[in-house]
Structure 1
Amino acid sequence: MSYLHVLNGDASLTAFRQSEVPGEPVVCREFICEGKAKNTKDPELFFESRAKHLEFHYGIDQQSYHTQVVKELEKLKPSGSFPSEIILWFDYDVFCQFNLIFIIHLIRQRFKELPLISLVDLPKHTEPATFNNLLNARVLLTPGDLEIADDAWDAYCLDTPQALELFAKFNTGNLIHLNTAIAAQLPRFPDINNGLSIIQEFFLQRLQMGTYRWYDLYKLFWDSMPIYGFGDFQLDIMMNRMINAGVLEQEDQMLRITSLGSEILANEENYLDYASMEHRWLGGVRLKESPWRWSKTLQRLVAIDK
């Protein structure tokens, strides 16, 4: 048996290499739950679009993206040593689950004949000694599971989130965390009353109670909303956007809410009137042009007149 292991990020790579699990690792360094996901069946067109978007809006150099992300994922192609099984090691959170459906989609695009594909439910901060037990507990994904993943990916890339929202209510088979992760992604659309995403609102609500050192605020987020799985990089970008919109102020390491931020929390102002939404995307949805808003009352997305 020849194994190809897809790991979600470099954090698990060191532990994997220290374990005695046989097979070669492939590291997925994407963060698909953020930014634009071009609706195309051509991986090369997807990566080209993604590289341009991430450079322009996230400051990630295109060459670095191709070297660190695209080149690494080239290992997920048929070659002389065709793998007998591809094993996917992914956590339960939004960050990992959206990467997971992307990887399954990519494998299905590149392999005309699929090897066995299995899934390891990878806990956070896994020790090397536990990898073999996790490997033995892996679940073989059925053709139906792979179809669910691919359909969810297609839905994420559409310019309307209605199809994706349905997956939050579906039984997603052996992809046991996928529906929960999709349900958590939906409130990241602007709120119908104040224009804030659920994470932006979390930060403003905490800062309304007092100032925080940035790292303490991040830790509070990680402890309170572990479903998202975001790291410093994603949160730094979010904070900078909120500062540029005038709802937060930063002095040295301390963050505080502004009067505008308080007015937005009280639904007296709308965040979208102050924040630039140019080139802002969630998957296939361009937020500047999208009528879709999150309703806390209805717990679903609703379309507004634009």
Structure 2
Amino acid sequence: MKTLHILNGDATLFVFNQTQIEGDILVWREILADGPVSKTNLWELRSDWICKTFGENAINYQQKVITEVEKLSHLEQYDEVILWFEYDLTCQINLIYILSILISGENSSIYLICPDTIEGMLNFRGLGELNPTQLKKLLAQKVKLQKTDLKLAAEAWDLYIDNDVEQIQGFLTRDFGNLWLLKKALKAHLLRFPNPITQLNYIEEVLLSLIRLGISSKAELYHTFWTKESIYGLTDLQLDHILTQLKERKLIKKELF
């Protein structure tokens, strides 16, 4: 049996390579939950935004991201595809995009490994925190996704692109089947829409409230945010970008952080 493992990033890859689990690997390195998305020219749009926002260059993006994504075009050679993802918004939006592609496959069985807690670990945040033994044990917990799960993921991806609050709220009344963590993530996504009164979204409000409490170092600010709001799965680069935008809006003093 030939298997493709789709891993949610390089931190997971580092541990995965120590497990001796057999199969080919696709490493997902995009953050589709942040920045623009589209039903057409997605990768051109993403490359341009990532390069401008985070100082990446197009050649690296091609090598690190698009080359891996192109592996999704060769699924016919695999008997099964196993997705290793996490509960946070970043992972869940990446997941529904991938599942929207996998729905067209006819031959592969699709499995999902997506824990939100790990026995014996407090404040579990990601698969990259696990040791090889812990990660390998998760293989026995893989859940086979049904066609209904894939269809729901494809609908969710379309709704995410359309970015309509009322449509997403209506979608949340659905039965999410094996993708029940997606419901929590989409609820968190709705909080990213700006408050009509303050014109701030929930993430911005949380960061500003922490700063008002007296946090003055970036390391402490990010650690406190991650502990409180792990549902978003934001990296330090993404939080840097948000802080920069808040400074540009003169909501944070430029000399801070």
* Shared fold, TM over 0.5: yes
Render the CA deviation track for 1:215-250: whole Å, top value 9, x for unaligned: 100000001111111111110111111111111124
Q: 2:61 aligns with which of 34, 48, 65?
A: 65
Query: How many angstroms does 1:147 deviate by?
Result: 0.4
Distance 1:62 1:164, change over 3 A: farther
For 1:77, the equivalent position in structure 2 comes to: 73
Alpha-carbon contact 1:92-1:181 (below 8 Å) kept: yes
Distance 1:229 1:17, change over 3 A: same
| AA matched with 1:150 | A
2:30 is the alignment partner of 1:26? no
Alpha-carbon contact 2:7-2:83 (below 8 Å) kept: yes
Distance 1:243 1:164, change over 3 A: same
Identity %: 33
Alpha-carbon contact 2:103-2:147 (below 8 Å) kept: no
Task: Report which of the two has the higher share of helix.
Answer: 2
Distance 1:139 1:160, change over 3 A: same
Query: How many angstroms does 1:159 deviate by?
Result: 5.2
Which structure: larger Rg?
A: 1
Alpha-carbon contact 1:38-1:50 (below 8 Å) kept: no
Query: How many angstroms does 1:74 deviate by?
Result: 1.5
Alpha-carbon contact 2:102-2:150 (below 8 Å) kept: no
2:99 is the alignment partner of 1:104? yes
Alpha-carbon contact 2:112-2:143 (below 8 Å) kept: yes
Please give the alpha-carbon distance, in whole angstroms, between the structure 2 residues aligned to 1:29 and 1:186.
24
Mind listing any 5+ residue stretches in structure 1 that lack a counterpart?
A: 256-306
Please show how residues 1-306 of structure 1 align to structure 2 within 5 Å: 1-40=1-40, 45-78=41-74, 82-108=77-103, 111=105, 113-122=106-115, 124=126, 125-158=129-162, 160-251=164-255, 254-255=256-257
Render the CA deviation track for 1:130-169: whole Å, top value 9, x for unaligned: 2232111100000000000011001111153432232333
Query: How many angstroms does 1:36 deviate by?
Result: 0.7
Query: How many angstroms does 1:72 deviate by?
Result: 1.1
Please give the alpha-carbon distance, in whole angstroms, between the structure 2 residues aligned to 1:250 and 1:127.
40
Q: Give the alignment's Cα RMSD to 1 decimal.
A: 1.7
Mind listing any 5+ residue stretches in structure 2 that lack a counterpart?
A: 119-125
Render the CA deviation track for 1:162-218: whole Å, top value 9, x for unaligned: 322323332211012001000001111111110111011001112122242011000
| AA matched with 1:149 | A
Task: Report which of the two has the higher share of strand.
Answer: 1
Alpha-carbon contact 1:145-1:175 (below 8 Å) kept: yes
TM-score (norm 1): 0.76
| Larger CA deviation: 95-104 vs 153-162 | 153-162
Please give the alpha-carbon distance, in whole angstroms, between the structure 2 residues aligned to 1:139 and 1:159.
29
Please give the alpha-carbon distance, in whole angstroms, between the structure 2 residues aligned to 1:96 and 1:220.
20
For 1:261, the equivalent position in structure 2 comes to: none
Please give the alpha-carbon distance, in whole angstroms, between the structure 2 residues aligned to 1:75 and 1:209.
47
Please give the alpha-carbon distance, in whole angstroms, between the structure 1 residues aligned to 2:178 and 2:163.
27
Please give the alpha-carbon distance, in whole angstroms, between the structure 2 residues aligned to 1:180 and 1:96.
12
